[in-house]
């Protein structure tokens, strides 16, 4: 479990983003009361790439910047592990395209 604080626009978010890593896939997610409330999933493409394929945020967390925080967390994970990112998920792709500071992990 990783504790992060992120400044998103004028909104301050303080949440636990957890990481689940399996053989060929993984996810970053936020739980509240033992239930997943937000998640971004990825597939591993060899040893040097991850494909972000889905982002989902529950209605109770929408508009709080949680989806964007998950994308940023996935990008930071890629940086730390010297991976490139292929954002197939339309939401993740739009977040990365709109923020130049996240684009260094693209091919």
For the stretch 78-106, pLDDT in tens is 999 999 999 999 999 999 999 999 999 99
Domain extent listing, the chain: 2-105
The domain at 2-105 falls in which architecture? Answer: 3-Layer(aba) Sandwich (3.40)
User: Which pLDDT score, from 0 to 100, does residue 41 have?
Assistant: 98
What are 61's two structure tokens?
């967390």
Give the confidence band of 12 by pLDDT, cuts at 50, 70, 90: very low
Cβ(56)–Cβ(78) below 8 Å: no
User: Which pLDDT score, from 0 to 100, does residue 4 have?
Assistant: 42
Cα angle vertex 76, ends 13, 85, to 5°?
125
- pLDDT digit string, tens, across residues 16-70: 899 999 999 999 999 988 888 999 999 999 999 999 999 999 998 988 899 999 9
């Amino acid at each position: 479990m990783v504790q992060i604080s992120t400044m998103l626009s004028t909104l301050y978010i303080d949440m636990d983003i957890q990481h689940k890593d399996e053989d060929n896939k993984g996810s970053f997610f936020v739980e509240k009361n033992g239930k997943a409330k937000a998640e971004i999933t990825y597939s591993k493409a060899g040893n040097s790439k991850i494909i972000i394929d889905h982002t989902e945020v529950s209605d109770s967390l929408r508009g709080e910047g949680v989806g964007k925080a998950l994308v940023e967390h996935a990008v930071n994970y890629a940086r730390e592990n010297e991976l490139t990112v292929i954002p197939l998920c339309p939401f993740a792709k739009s977040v990365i395209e709109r923020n130049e500071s996240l684009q260094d992990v693209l091919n």
